[in-house]
């Protein structure tokens, strides 16, 4: 009999610390399910920095490392170079990766470091109080933009499309953007993550999956409204799909 559903061995059975309606739990489930499917639990290393990502080691039943804020790509680079047969995953939020860690990620990607980044984009700083993030949408309110992000205001600028930015670098091999706002997009996101992890283990090069995720608490919305807001407002700014795919052979199937 074929098993259609099961609780991943790589995911601790523990109550969640995430807010109601947060997408992190769904993303954890996708990653751990793929780790189990690939038989890599004993060779998986999750690097998770400051932000809501810092709680990942409470849920991933595999090796984890907590680097300083923004320094996750540097830690992942060292781990992957020392343990090239291991599955190394950067698990980062938009504040961490697209702000304090921008230089770390861009240079690691440009070098073609052979780890995979799961980039959770909820368009705001989650853990630290809902400040405007590099990915905050124009007009979106935040603790540091109470009247909404204004590109003409000093210090605000425009939302950064991280996937498109990294896709322009020669060292990147696979970049895709998914979302966890409905079942169909969750399935597609799982496919993207699996393809990226398979590419890493094939030694092909740098891969990143951006995942659009709701943050009802810092968006000041109920969970259902947050999911609807993501679909209506975030997806038009951050289009879903494979943004760069230079894979070939088995890893591209």
Domain boundaries, the chain: 24-248
**Reduced 3-state DSSP string for 50-110:** CCHHHHHHHCECCEEECCCCCCHHHHHHHHHHHCCCCEEEEEEEHHHHHHHCHHHHHHHHH
Average pLDDT over residues 211-219: 96
- Checking if the pLDDT of 156 tops 80, the result is yes
Structure token digits, residue 222:
């109920």
**Residue among 236, 233, 214 nearest 120 (CA):** 214
For β-strands 87-93 and 172-179, DSSP reports them as: unpaired
- Checking if the pLDDT of 166 tops 90, the result is yes
Q: Which CATH architecture has domain 24-248?
A: 3-Layer(aba) Sandwich (3.40)
CB 243 within 8 A of CB 167: yes
CB 143 within 8 A of CB 129: yes
pLDDT-wise least confident of 125-134, 160-169, 192-201: 125-134
* pTM for the whole structure: 0.94
Question: pLDDT band at 167, cuts 50/70/90?
Answer: very high
pLDDT tens track for 28-87: 999 999 999 999 999 999 999 888 888 888 999 999 999 988 899 999 999 999 999 999
CB 234 within 8 A of CB 181: no
| C-alpha distance across the termini of the chain, in Å | 26
């Amino acid at each position: 009999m074929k098993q259609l559903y099961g609780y991943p061995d790589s995911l601790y059975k523990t109550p969640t610390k995430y807010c109601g309606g947060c997408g992190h739990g769904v993303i954890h489930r996708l990653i751990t399910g793929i780790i189990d499917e690939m038989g890599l639990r004993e060779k998986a290393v999750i690097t998770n920095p400051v932000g809501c990502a810092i709680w990942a080691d409470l849920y991933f039943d595999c090796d984890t490392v907590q680097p300083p804020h923004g320094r996750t790509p540097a830690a992942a680079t060292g781990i992957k170079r020392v343990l090239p047969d291991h599955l190394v995953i950067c698990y980062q939020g938009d504040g961490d990766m697209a702000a304090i860690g921008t230089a770390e990620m861009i240079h690691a990607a440009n070098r073609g470091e052979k780890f995979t980044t799961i980039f959770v984009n909820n368009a705001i700083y989650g853990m630290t109080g809902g400040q405007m993030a590099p990915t905050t949408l124009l007009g979106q309110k935040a603790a540091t933009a109470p009247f909404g992000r204004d590109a003409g205001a000093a210090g605000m600028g425009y939302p950064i499309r991280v996937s498109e930015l990294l896709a322009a670098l020669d060292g990147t091999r696979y970049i895709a953007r998914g979302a966890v706002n409905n079942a169909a997009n969750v399935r597609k996101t799982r496919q993207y993550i699996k393809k990226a992890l398979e590419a890493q283990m094939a030694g092909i090069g740098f891969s990143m999956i951006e995942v659009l995720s709701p943050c009802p608490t810092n968006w000041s919305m109920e969970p259902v409204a947050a999911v609807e807001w993501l679909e209506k407002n975030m997806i038009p700014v951050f289009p879903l799909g494979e943004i760069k795919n230079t894979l070939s052979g088995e890893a591209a199937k």
